[in-house]
Amino acid sequence: MVRKQIRFRGKVQGVGFRYHAKNAASSLGLTGWVRNESDGSVYMEVQGEDVLVERLLLNLNSDTYIDIQNVEIRSIDIVEKENGFSVAY
């Protein structure tokens, strides 16, 4: 089990990125949340099996309108008893 803090830069706001992330993470059984940042990036915390988090990252750039130019990833502490994946505002 891992938890990753991820910042995406590129064409990631106004293109359905957060909802694509929510649907993809939920379908993989991952937990966490995603939100837009004021600097134009998208910030995500995601938790689950390492291989599934990697699969999520591969899936996120597959949408026609999303164009991820840069990804920053950090490992952070697990959040116990977290349920589901949500879009934060």
Q: 74 in helix, strand or coil?
A: strand
Active site residue 18: yes
Active site residue 74: no
Could you tell me the CA-to-CA distances from 36 to 2, 11, 19, 80, 88 in Å, in that order? 22, 12, 11, 24, 8
| Residue whose entry in the numeric block shows the structure tokens 């649907």 | 23
**Of residues 35, 36, 59, 61, which has the active-site annotation?**
36
Which ranges of the chain would DSSP assign to H, the alpha helix? 17-27, 50-60
Catalytic residues: 18, 36
